Amino acid sequence: MREIIFDTETTGFDPLTGDRLVEIGCIEMVGRVMTGTTFHCYFNPERAMPAAAEAVHGLSDKFLSDKCLFSSKADDLLEFLGDSPLVAHNASFDFGFLNMELQRCGRPAVDMGRMVDTIAIARGKHPGAKLSLDALCTRYGIDRSHRTKHGALLDAELLAQLYIELTGGRQIGLGLVDDADRAAGDTTVRIELIRTDRIYRAPRPHAASSEELVRHRNFVETIKDALWNGRDSAT
């Protein structure tokens, strides 16, 4: 199954009060394996960047001033997303900004039914634990030493690794496409179960034989004053 892991960076917290999307990073996964295909773009928000937001992601007014408008890349983004499930951390935040930008340029909103929220998955697995991307990467041993500031594509890469761990980890053997299939344009990921060569062994009998039952009965009869004989403890 094809899935898209994505993250966004913005000018603030609320698209309904004028905050805008300034970066999106998307990673394609097929069969829970990253294919190496990505979509990444910065956008000019047509407004000033608040200092608090710049401190988080480092995207300044100067850096964004010559970047394209979201509307110029909307069709390319929608084509990349296709009809695949969309995985994000605190997904309602990212979906809110994505759909606001799509609405602004007259494109259809992404169906919220496609949303997969890794915070909701993590909350079910680790109730009461810290659920930030940093905290969960630490819990699962995912290296984030190269993450000095938030970045949409970098965070999507970390999230892709986290999503694999949250949904079972690498507990299956993966038979990836070989060179011949790749050359023929077949990029299907084939999944095979581990240990298909296991030898079947019939279960061993565990019931006592007739001879064993006789020996046990004879042994029990040699026990004096056995509790199971109902002897009155007061006598």
CA 37 – CA 75 distance, rounded (Å)? 17
35-44: list long-range contacts, CB under 8 Å, 24+ apart.
Answer: 35/187, 38/153, 38/156, 39/76, 39/77, 39/80, 40/152, 40/153, 41/68, 41/73, 41/77, 42/67, 42/68, 43/67, 43/68, 43/69, 43/70, 43/73, 43/101, 44/68, 44/69
Binding-site residues from annotation for substrate: 7, 9, 57, 155
Sign of CA dihedral 226, 228, 234, 235: negative
Location of structure tokens 């084939």: 190
End-to-end CA distance of the chain: 76
Residue 150 bears catalytic tag: yes
Please pick, among 126, 150, 206, 216, the residue that the annotation labels catalytic.
150
What are the catalytic residues?
Answer: 150
